[in-house]
Chain A
């Protein structure tokens, strides 16, 4: 439930009013802002965080960045606060992914996930309606990619965002993203092939 900022509730329920309150140092406005934005930030963090970093820690880090960098945000035409927030969150997730020096060994995939991965490179049909296995297979394969590739394919494939959206979120050129996505899929292809040949991609 989104709480409104306390002083004039009917007016201050907008994010902009909360931001103004935060700029003045009002604790009520700060709490209302956190409560209001938390689901959006958590959803993004959940999709893009490295496995080694707890979700709550990264969400908190995003909010600290929001508060400290708030003065840099100026509402211009076409750049709503939501957009700025998403970009900030994704950039922090990418930083966290990059700083994840050593990846944790993955848990062994389920037989359904194995079957899904096999279906990427060979002929066997995938397990129909085994959506959990599909999810596990996707996460397993994406987790083996470099952070930028992983982020890009998550945004494009799993979240079904357009290239324009991803370009706006990541600050990258649309053409460069297209090329990167192509290369990332080739990496996935060779990963899946290698995974099948050695019987797993845990290193």
Chain B
């Protein structure tokens, strides 16, 4: 058995004994304690920052809505013409923007002609320091 396991078993034995120890009795709260805590709790509730309902924001929103309704009712003509102009402008917007000019095709990069196979073999055989037997003998590739 490992040392850890042995320790865990001994710890369980210790806490099992500790659990059997008589815990001090819960005494009744002191006279007046409950009333005091309850009073403080209620006070804390009233003073606690509650979740803001944002009444000003709602009032402002309603006010703006009411003003908009009044404006439409009092000046229906100008409002309608303005709205119509805005709508037509929005519809015509995609047509008024010119298309971007198409870019010209780029020319293909020049590719020099490759030497032929015989020229390559002749050039390799002329290299003085090349001690390799060319073409290489077929050999199995060693993979790690």
Contact = CB atoms under 8 A, between A and B. Distances in A.
A71 interface: yes
Interface in A21-61: 22, 25, 27, 30-31, 33-35, 38-39, 42-43, 46, 56, 60
B41 A157 contact: no
Interface in A124-167: 126, 129-132, 134-135, 137-138, 157-158, 160
A119 B17 contact: no
A27 B7 contact: no
A131 B37 contact: no
A67 interface: yes
Nearest to B19: A158
A contacts with B: majority SS: helix
Given A34-B38, A126-B13, A137-B18, A70 B4 contact: no
Interface stretch (B42-50, B63-71, B80-88, B114-122): B42-50
Given A60-B37, A68-B48, A131-B21, A189 B4 contact: yes
A137 B19 CA distance: 12
Contact of A134 (B18, B34, B39, B40): B18
A172 interface: no
A66 B45 CA distance: 9
A130 B17 contact: yes
Interface residues of B, number: 35
A158 B41 contact: no
Given A64-B41, A68-B45, 12 more contacts: A30-B41, A31-B35, A39-B26, A46-B24, A56-B33, A60-B40, A67-B48, A119-B14, A134-B15, A134-B18, A137-B18, A158-B19
Interface of B: 3-4, 7-8, 10-15, 17-24, 26, 29, 33-35, 37-42, 44-46, 48, 50-51
8 contacts: A34-B34, A38-B29, A38-B34, A63-B41, A64-B37, A64-B44, A135-B21, A188-B7
Q: Which 3 A-B pairs have the closest CB atoms?
A: A67-B41, A134-B17, A30-B38
Interface of A: 22, 25, 27, 30-31, 33-35, 38-39, 42-43, 46, 56, 60, 63-64, 66-68, 70-71, 116, 119-121, 126, 129-132, 134-135, 137-138, 157-158, 160, 185-186, 188-189, 192
